[in-house]
């Protein structure tokens, strides 16, 4: 691969053979980023990959990976993400805030898509930006770079981060790697790979930290719309449809927008991610125990998950230890929540129900039947999030909870 910095230097490298094109379903809901990936992965079987020659062992590129990359060749996904102003403006603000760490430095953009973040970094004065993407959108990203006269600064590399070669260390890694429920898609592994291969000691990673939250929710309107509707359809008793309706509506996680009024308690930290130290092995399975106290009397319809990410430098060990400790305790206290709203603190991109909506929305795990909850009643249990053995980009969710003296188990797959 040619990695020069002249106007015609943008390199391309296809690391896996192209899979056959498959028909697409129409986007049926706002959560198209997930639906594209799920559609592309349908009926894909893993193919054996031979390890590349050389000393460095590279993870295999499977048929599922190829389907994932192909899903991101569609412009609609990138349009949805770019039009998410909360997301895009926060990234641009973070680049501006850290301009002193970017100007004159070498940057790698992991999963560059259309190249917008790489271009933001170039405009902030980066000496060189490697924009890496395994999907065919990299071809259009290269044209965007040329059209903005940035070919001498931004080098588009068409291939997996795990496979492309960069012959120098980098000062900054930037990536929009977060999936629904933070960890869906398993793209953080590519950021870890880039960090371990190229990042200089003391280098900057944007975003730097991420926190996944969960909380019990009530959502009577949603339940009525999907389930109670069948009890009386134009005067006809269709309650025989209820079991099927519950399965169709609530078997899999739902990506949708709720508000703070739906949330019954303070949230619990499921996982705190330090992008400077996290390992791929830690992402294979995440487990936490939770204990909530309902702040109101209401029907409990399920649990909501959301996340936020922070754009800052490495934290000290004491702070990291404190934040990791939240996962082993109950919920965030008021002091920690106030920290998020302090404008003098690090820049935060939040997908919380009380904050402006984003394309990530919130991820809902609904019960088939609501549970009556009294004020101050305890809701406790555990949740395990694990990468699917079928496809590591899918997420298995195992939820156990006790409420009102009754025990429940809910298992689902986010695919």
Check whether the bond before 270 is cis (ω within 30° of 0): no
Candidates 26, 40, 165, 185; catalytic one = 185
Candidates 168, 176, 374, 390; catalytic one = 176
Is 282 part of the annotated catalytic residue set? no
Please report the DSSP string for 281-330 in residue order. HHHSEEEEEEEEE-SS-EEEEEEEEEEEEEE-SPPPHHHHHHHHHGGGSS
Inter-residue contact 114 to 140 (CB < 8 Å):
yes
Residue 272 structure tokens: 């705190």
Is 185 part of the annotated catalytic residue set? yes
The CA distance from 24 to 41, in Å, is 11
**CB within 8 Å of 325: residues ≥ 6 apart:** none
**CB within 8 Å of 395: residues ≥ 6 apart:** 181, 183, 184, 385, 386, 387, 388, 413, 414
The CA distance from 150 to 131, in Å, is 12
3-state secondary structure of 85: helix
Inter-residue contact 245 to 251 (CB < 8 Å):
no
The CA distance from 307 to 89, in Å, is 17
Inter-residue contact 13 to 1 (CB < 8 Å):
yes
- CB atoms under 10 Å from CB of 406, counted, come to 8
The CA distance from 60 to 16, in Å, is 9
Q: Is the torsion defined by CA of 279, 285, 286, 287 positive or negative?
A: negative
3-state secondary structure of 176: coil
Element (H, E) at 119: helix 116-123
The residues assigned a catalytic role are 176, 185
């Amino acid at each position: 691969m040619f990695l020069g910095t002249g106007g015609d230097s943008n390199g391309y490298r296809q690391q896996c053979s192209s899979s056959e094109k498959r028909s697409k379903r129409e986007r049926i809901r706002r959560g198209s980023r997930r639906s594209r990936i799920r559609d592309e992965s349908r009926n894909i079987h893993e193919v054996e990959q031979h390890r590349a020659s050389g000393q460095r062992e590279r993870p295999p590129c499977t048929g599922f990976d190829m389907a994932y990359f192909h899903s991101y060749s569609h412009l609609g996904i990138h349009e949805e993400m770019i039009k998410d102003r909360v997301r895009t403006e926060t990234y641009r603000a973070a680049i501006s805030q850290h301009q002193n760490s970017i100007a004159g430095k070498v940057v790698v953009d992991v999963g560059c898509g259309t190249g917008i973040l790489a271009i933001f970094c170039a405009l902030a004065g980066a000496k060189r930006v490697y924009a890496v993407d395994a999907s065919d959108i990299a071809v259009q990203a290269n044209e965007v770079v040329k059209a903005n006269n940035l070919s001498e600064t931004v080098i588009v590399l068409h291939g997996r981060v795990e496979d492309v070669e960069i012959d120098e260390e980098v000062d900054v890694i930037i990536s929009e790697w977060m999936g629904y429920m933070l960890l869906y898609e398993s793209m953080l592994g590519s950021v870890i790979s880039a960090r371990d291969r190229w990042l200089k000691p003391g280098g900057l990673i944007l975003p730097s930290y991420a926190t996944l939250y969960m909380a019990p929710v009530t959502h009577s309107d949603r339940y009525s719309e999907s389930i109670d509707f069948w009890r009386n359809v134009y005067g006809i008793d269709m309650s025989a449809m209820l079991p099927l309706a519950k399965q169709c509506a609530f078997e899999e996680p739902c990506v949708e927008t709720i508000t703070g009024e739906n949330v019954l308690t303070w949230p619990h930290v499921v996982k705190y991610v330090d992008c400077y130290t996290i390992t791929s092995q830690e992402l294979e399975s995440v487990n936490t125990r939770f204990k909530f106290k309902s702040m109101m009397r209401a029907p409990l319809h399920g649990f909501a998950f959301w996340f936020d990410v922070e754009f800052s430098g490495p934290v000290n060990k004491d702070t990291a230890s404190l934040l990791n400790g939240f996962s082993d305790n109950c919920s965030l206290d008021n002091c920690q929540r106030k920290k998020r709203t302090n404008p003098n603190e690090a820049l935060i991109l939040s997908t919380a129900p009380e904050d402006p909506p984003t394309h990530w929305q919130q991820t809902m795990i609904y019960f088939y039947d609501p549970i009556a909850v009294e004020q101050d009643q305890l809701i406790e249990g555990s949740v395990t999030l694990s990468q699917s053995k079928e496809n590591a980009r899918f997420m298995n969710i195992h939820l156990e909870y006790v409420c009102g003296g009754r025990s429940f188990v809910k298992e689902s797959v986010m695919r």
